[in-house]
C-alpha cells in the first residue's frame, strides 16, 4: 500500500499563473477529499468526491478553484489564476465507503504564490 500520493511536494509560482495539484488515492478507496491548511484558518475541506463524482464543493473558495476526478486513481485541484492568498498546504485524503473507515492523508503540497 503506497498510501495517498500527492505531487508536487512544493510549488512556487507567480501571481496570475495556473497551478495544478495532483493526487493519487489509495486503490479501492471510494472517497477523495481535498483540504487546505493555512496559519490563519487551519484545516478546511475544499471539496470531496464519491466514486469520482463531486459531492460537496461548498468549501471551494471561489471560481478560480476547480477540481476534477477523471478516474478512480487520479484527481486534480487547479487554481487559475493564482493569487498570493492561495499560499497554503493542500492535502489530499482518501477513505473507503465503510463506516468507521479512517482517512488516509497524502503528504501535502506546499504552494507559495509570490
Partner 1 sequence: KNEVEQSPQNLTAQEGEFITINCSYSVGISALHWLQQHPGGGIVSLFMLSSGKKKHGRLIATINIQEKHSSLHITASHPRDSAVYICAITLMASAGGTSYGKLTFGQGTILTVHP
For 12, 15, 47, 101, the CA distances from 75, given in Å and listed in that order, are 20, 23, 11, 20
- Residue 105 interacts with partner 1 (CB under 8 A): yes or no: yes
Q: DSSP assignment, residue 59?
A: T
Residue among 42, 63, 70, 71 that touches partner 1 (CB under 8 A)? 42
Q: How many residues does the chain have?
A: 114
Helical (H) or strand (E) element with 86: none
| Least separation in angstroms between CB 8 and partner 1 | 14
- Is residue 43 part of the contact set for partner 1 (CB under 8 A)? yes
CA dist 92 and 105 (Å) reads 6
Residue 104 binding partner 1, by CB under 8 A: yes
Query: Which residues lie near partner 1 (CB under 8 A)?
Result: 31, 33, 35, 42-45, 48, 50, 55-56, 89, 91, 93, 95, 99-105, 107-108, 110
Amino acid at each position: 500500500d503506497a498510501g495517498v500520493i500527492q505531487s508536487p511536494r512544493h510549488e512556487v509560482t507567480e501571481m496570475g499563473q495556473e497551478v495544478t495539484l495532483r493526487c493519487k488515492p489509495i486503490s479501492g478507496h471510494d472517497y477523495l477529499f481535498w483540504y487546505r491548511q493555512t496559519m490563519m484558518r487551519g484545516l478546511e475541506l475544499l471539496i470531496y468526491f464519491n466514486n469520482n463524482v463531486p459531492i460537496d464543493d461548498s468549501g471551494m473558495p471561489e471560481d478560480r478553484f476547480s477540481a476534477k476526478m477523471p478516474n478512480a486513481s487520479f484527481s486534480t485541484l487547479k487554481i487559475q489564476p493564482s493569487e498570493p492568498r492561495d499560499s497554503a498546504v493542500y492535502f489530499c485524503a482518501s477513505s473507503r465507503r465503510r463506516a468507521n473507515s479512517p482517512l488516509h492523508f497524502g503528504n501535502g503540497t506546499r504552494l507559495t504564490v509570490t
